[in-house]
């Protein structure tokens, strides 16, 4: 496959667009005699069939898109100068107006897409889809990043022995990967082609006991792949952990790790080889349906949470799967939308969390449903081969999301495993399987590439030592009541303790007037709102949590798990009232729409606790007209009116919000009778106990927002794109670039309601005595790269360059004092934001460090250290394809949020 550099790609894109416009009639006439795209199913072809005949044997159950090859639309001279591997699809009602190189820079693709806009009245549509045509493709293995271990800096380790949470050590999993690949290569060399292909191909939807299954090959037992990012899905006696967004809200690496370790133990205990998580998409759109599965709207926070989660999961012996790669930022039309992203934004925002997962040794990665710059993510050479396997040196395997596999030639684009294995659920056809074998036998795909695919899959298996007494699968994801296939193995242990602590630590105190919280033995408590109590159907009454009734502890979709139980706020408050030390009387009203009834219950009570929520999830489920993504950013169930009505009769109204993400709360947030607000996200099975711990001061809140809460939906930089029909592909241009979430608010001087990183405490903290100094290096392992970086040169990122030790090792130590200036012990989350020079093209402030200063006693002072790497001080150079230090002075601020800076300094470069 020809790979062009971004500058040449951009030039070619413009030339091709001009030629295509001039020859549009030729394209139309050529369509009837076009070559068949690799998106045509060839499942019925015998393994000995040549490429041409195999391609024509299209499964009748699969619709075939007509494809115009590059040579039929352009002069052969120009086409060959661009790439022999690109074709443009005539999709829906539009004809491709340009042919673009698969490796072209995102900016050129976005530009071409903008020129080919559709009607002015409908949503923006993508007119160019880039596919891989049938040809003959050779394969060369990717260079394996290598560096010598450095004691105290870069220790050699294995997934079972990661560094402690928050450590400044950069773990070196290279030797462990090398051993795993050596064993895998040896086994693969003994397999036939059909056996190697079998290891890459799922058995089909519902073809095994897990949501994804790789068959046994000889003595190798195959793999069980199972959701979800917050617990083992579709089985019993497991823990329903807090969602990713709640975990990120703790800003505590120790709890991120502890959750990962507990989940890893449960997945392994059930016999699962691959845990389908963590999810680390970026929350670009505030209404995004699956934002709650991820870790917030900042790449650094998301990356650190992903890093600790992967280390925790894999320490238990299960393979983690980082998902969804990449730019899968909305649910609507997720399989038919092209996320058009420029190269710098891709590197600095969306690639970063996946890079951190790779640095944690993640075994597998899941590519997403959407297109990226015109090419489906699961056959995208630029993202899978160039960025993932080359630049950041990923040594594991890439699986498709379920149904996100679109061609046999996706193997050339970088896809290693087809999930669940069939083209459509239950079709008994596959893009891999016999078709992949046929493509190797007829010379279309090199067998060396299939060797690479199988080796990557087996290497991940050996990396986690899953060949050593690994438990058998003990459940049936598709029939949880079948006695023959469900052993009901209890893997919960004492993991409820982790759930409860994260639920409390992830709760953000947004408002607290005159010490309304913690509660001080109120004589009477009114508990108001449907979200305070149980669902009429019980915690698991809605399949995949596809309903909002009762307290909200997780969103809906495949990112869920069964609750073993669910402690509601009402239940926990009553238990607290029974304690002799509390002595409170509790009344409640669970209706949200009978405002008079709610007011009657809240009237003359010492405190009224109003529980409200906002839900979302995956697009295969629609709840109250919300197709995965939220229709708007209001709270659900008449919540705003309920809060206002209660506050009208009770001057001490405390609001608790369980939400999948930000919501607009302007109707009541400044009401003086609303004395406190707690943002509790999605706490999991210990929801009620966790919130009661915070309400009564057993736990001093230390949570911080992982996103911005705006005053208006229009204040956010990107909006949900709706519309589209049939085979149309929505065009989603990431025009905000680097300015997502708080970066956009800062760059445009927009006042948020509550900024990113914000959170109050029952005490107060002061900062002082800032100091920064370079960290001495005794080795000269990468002296040439370090000198080039210091001189402002771009250091190329190829062959693992983006994860190189010299770039990521701690280079500067930032120290300062944090003092508890209040009367209660508490935890402070100290945050460090870098301010790049004006000409660097960066947002005003960029999070590059944080640390939790735990259990600081009243009037106690702690000395705190945060380190900065060269990577933290670098920007992506799209032209030079590497990282560089921008010209000019780099400053930084330390403080309590993205807008509460207490100390300022300059990096001594």
CA angle 58, 62, 67 (to 5 degrees): 70
Rounded Cα gap, residues 523 and 512, in angstroms: 20
**Tokens, residue 436:** 């992949």
Residue of 868, 754, 768, 752 whose CA lies nearest to 811: 868
The residue behind tokens 């300022």 is: 904
Q: How far is it between the farthest Cα atoms of the chain?
A: 87
Long-range contacts of 54-60 (CB under 8 A, 24+ apart): 54/435, 54/438, 54/439, 54/442, 55/134, 59/423, 59/427, 59/429
Contact between residue 532 and residue 603 where contact means Cβ atoms under 8 Å apart: no
Handedness of CA 239, 244, 249, 251 (dihedral sign): positive
By DSSP bridging, strand 900-906 and strand 891-897 are: antiparallel
**Tokens, residue 720:** 């949900």
DSSP-assigned states of every residue in 174-243 = HHHHHHHHHHHHHHHTTS-HHHHHHTTB---TTSSSSSEEEPPBTTB--EEEE--TTS--S-SS---PPP
DSSP-assigned states of every residue in 8-75 = HHHHHHHHHHHHHHHTHHHHHHHHTTPPPPTTS--TTS-TT--HHHHHH---TTS----EEEHHHHS-
DSSP state of 453: H
Length of the chain: 909
Contact between residue 504 and residue 695 where contact means Cβ atoms under 8 Å apart: no
Distances in Å between the Cα of 211 and the Cα atoms of 261, 453, 551, 635 are 22, 21, 28, 33
Distances in Å between the Cα of 659 and the Cα atoms of 181, 297, 508, 662, 750 are 43, 15, 12, 7, 23
Partners of 464 in the β-ladder: none
By DSSP bridging, strand 585-589 and strand 730-733 are: unpaired
The 3-state DSSP class for residue 130 equals strand
DSSP state of 145: P
Long-range contacts of 712-718 (CB under 8 A, 24+ apart): 712/664, 712/666, 713/286, 713/632, 713/633, 713/664, 715/745, 715/750, 715/752, 716/285, 716/286, 716/741, 716/744, 717/741, 717/744, 718/284, 718/285, 718/329
Q: How many CA atoms lie within 13 A of 286 on its CB side?
A: 27
**Tokens, residue 180:** 């795993």
Extended beta strands in 590-648, E state: 607-614, 622-623, 626-627
Residues 6 or more apart whose Cβ sits within 8 Å of residue 593: 637, 638
Q: Is the peptide bond before 609 cis (omega within 30 degrees of 0)?
A: no
Residue of 615, 568, 614, 572 whose CA lies nearest to 590: 568
Determine whether 44 is exposed, middle or buried from the number of CB atoms within 10 Å of its CB (0-12, 13-18, 19+).
Answer: middle
Catalytic site positions: 401
Q: How many CB atoms lie within 10 A of CB 667?
A: 14
Residues 6 or more apart whose Cβ sits within 8 Å of residue 383: 325, 326, 346, 367, 372, 377, 414
């Amino acid at each position: 496959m020809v790979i062009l550099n971004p500058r040449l790609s951009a030039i070619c894109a413009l030339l091709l667009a001009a030629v295509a416009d001039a020859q549009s009639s030729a394209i139309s006439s050529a369509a009837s005699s076009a070559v068949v795209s690799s998106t045509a199913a060839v499942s019925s072809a015998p393994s000995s069939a040549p490429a041409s005949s195999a391609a024509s044997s299209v499964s009748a159950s699969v619709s075939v898109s007509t494809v115009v090859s590059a040579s039929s639309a352009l002069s052969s001279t120009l086409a060959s100068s661009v790439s022999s591997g690109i074709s443009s699809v005539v999709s829906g009602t539009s004809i491709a107006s340009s042919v673009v190189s698969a490796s072209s820079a995102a900016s050129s693709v976005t530009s071409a897409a903008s020129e080919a806009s559709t009607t002015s009245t409908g949503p923006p549509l993508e007119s160019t889809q880039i596919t891989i045509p049938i040809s003959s493709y050779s394969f060369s293995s990717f260079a394996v990043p290598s560096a010598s271990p450095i004691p105290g800096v870069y220790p050699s380790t294995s997934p079972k022995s990661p560094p402690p949470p928050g450590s400044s050590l950069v773990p070196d999993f290279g030797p462990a990967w090398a051993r795993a690949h050596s064993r895998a290569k040896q086994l693969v060399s003994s397999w036939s082609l059909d056996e190697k292909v079998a290891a890459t191909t799922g058995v089909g939807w519902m073809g095994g006991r897990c949501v994804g299954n790789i068959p046994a090959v000889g003595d190798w037992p195959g793999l069980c792949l199972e959701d979800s990012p917050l617990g083992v899905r579709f089985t019993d006696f497991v823990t329903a952990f807090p969602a990713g967004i709640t975990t990120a809200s703790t800003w505590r690496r120790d709890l991120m790790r502890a959750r990962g370790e507990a989940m890893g133990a449960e997945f392994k205990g059930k016999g699962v080889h691959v845990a389908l998580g963590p999810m680390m998409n970026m929350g670009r759109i505030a209404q995004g349906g699956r934002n709650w599965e991820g870790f917030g709207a900042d790449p650094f926070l998301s990356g650190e949470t992903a890093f600790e989660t992967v280390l925790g999961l894999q320490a238990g012996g299960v393979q983690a799967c980082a998902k969804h790669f990449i730019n899968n930022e909305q649910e609507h039309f997720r399989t038919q939308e092209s996320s058009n992203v420029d190269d710098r934004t891709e590197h600095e925002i969306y690639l970063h969390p996946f890079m951190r997962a790779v640095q944690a040794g993640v075994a597998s990665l899941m590519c997403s449903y959407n297109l990226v710059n015109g090419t489906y993510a699961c056959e995208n050479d630029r993202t899978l081969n160039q960025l993932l396997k080359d630049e950041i040196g990923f040594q594991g395997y890439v699986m498709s999301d379920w149904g996100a596999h679109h061609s046999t030639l996706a193997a050339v684009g970088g896809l290693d495993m087809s999930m669940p294995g069939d083209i459509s659920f239950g079709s008994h056809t596959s893009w891999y399987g016999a078709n992949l074998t046929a493509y190797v036998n007829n010379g279309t795909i090199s067998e060396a590439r299939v060797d690479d695919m199988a080796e990557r899959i087996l290497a991940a298996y050996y990396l986690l030592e899953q060949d050593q007494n690994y438990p058998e699968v003990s459940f049936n994801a598709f029939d949880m009541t079948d006695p023959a296939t469900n052993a009901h193995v209890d893997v919960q242990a004492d993991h409820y303790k982790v759930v409860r602590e994260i639920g409390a630590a992830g709760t953000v105190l947004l408002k607290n007037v005159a010490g309304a919280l913690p509660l001080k033995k109120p004589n009477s408590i009114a508990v108001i709102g449907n979200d305070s109590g149980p669902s009429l159907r019980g915690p698991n009454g809605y399949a995949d949590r596809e309903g909002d009734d009762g307290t909200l502890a997780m969103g809906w979709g495949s990112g869920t798990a069964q609750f073993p139980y669910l402690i509601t706020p009402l239940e926990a408050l009553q238990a607290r009232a029974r304690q002799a030390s509390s002595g409170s009387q509790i009344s409640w009203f669970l209706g949200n729409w009978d405002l008079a009834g709610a007011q009657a219950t809240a009237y003359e009570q010492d405190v009224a606790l109003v529980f409200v929520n906002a839900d979302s999830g995956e697009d295969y489920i629609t709840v109250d007209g919300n197709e995965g993504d939220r229709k708007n950013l209001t709270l659900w169930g008449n919540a705003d009116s309920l809060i206002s009505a209660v506050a009208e009769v009770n001057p001490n109204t405390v609001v608790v919000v369980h939400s999948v993400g930000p919501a607009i709360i302007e109707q009541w947030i400044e009401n003086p009778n609303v004395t406190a607000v707690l943002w509790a996200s999605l706490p999991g099975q210990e929801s009620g106990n966790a919130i009661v711990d915070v309400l009564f001061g057993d736990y001093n809140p230390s949570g911080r927002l992982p996103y911005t809460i705006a005053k208006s939906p229009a204040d956010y930089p990107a909006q949900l794109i709706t519309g589209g029909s049939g085979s149309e592909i929505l065009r989603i241009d990431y025009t905000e670039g680097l300015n997502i979430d708080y970066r956009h608010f800062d760059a445009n001087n927009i006042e948020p309601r509550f900024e990113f990183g914000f959170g109050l405490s029952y005490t107060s903290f002061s900062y002082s005595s800032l100091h920064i100094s370079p960290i001495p290096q005794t080795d000269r392992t990468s002296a040439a790269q370090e000198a080039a970086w210091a001189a402002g040169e771009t250091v190329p990122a190829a062959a693992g360059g983006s994860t190189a030790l010299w770039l990521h090792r701690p280079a500067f130590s930032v120290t300062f004092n944090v003092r508890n200036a209040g009367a209660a012990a508490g935890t402070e989350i100290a945050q460090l934001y870098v301010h790049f020079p004006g000409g660097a093209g960066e947002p005003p402030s960029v999070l590059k460090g944080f640390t939790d200063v735990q259990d600081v006693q009243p009037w106690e002072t702690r000395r705190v250290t945060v380190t900065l790497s060269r990577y933290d001080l670098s920007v992506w150079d799209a032209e030079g394809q590497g990282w560089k230090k921008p010209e000019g002075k780099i400053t930084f601020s330390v403080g309590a949020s993205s807008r509460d800076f207490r100390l300022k300094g300059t990096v001594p470069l």
